[in-house]
Amino acid sequence: MIALRAREITMSLTIYHNPRCSKSRKTLEIIQDNGIEPNIIEYLKNPPDAATTEHLAALLGLTVAGLLRKSEADFTEARDLPSLEDNTALARWLKQHPKVLQRPIVVDNDRDLAVIGRPPENVLELLQG
């Protein structure tokens, strides 16, 4: 268990979560072990719209292409993949192919910061903030 108990943590977090992913489950566990109940978005059931995906990329300091899991079959076998330089088209494409989205993404809604929970301990950057 990784917990920061030195101070009371009150924050609003959102996790784009895949319950079948061990990294995503571990990231959620770290958050909850620190007394925070995040807003959980199961992005495979409720994929983010293009504007949200572009916002997530901006919070992470990435292009939308930086959010891609390029080893996923949905990416490697895609016949409808737009240019990786076209953030808007790629964000729309990700809504139709959410398995390709990096996971988990955790957003600190109060400070407009985000991290990718790979490794899960990356979430500590937000918790220690």
39 close to 126: Cβ distance less than 8 angstroms: no
Report how far residue 18's alpha carbon sits from residue 72's, in angstroms, rounded to the nearest whole number: 14
- In angstroms, the first-to-last Cα distance of the chain is 19
Catalytic residue among 21, 44, 78, 124: 21
Tell me if residue 21 is catalytic. Answer: yes
Report how far residue 104's alpha carbon sits from residue 25's, in angstroms, rounded to the nearest whole number: 9
Active-site amino acid positions: 21
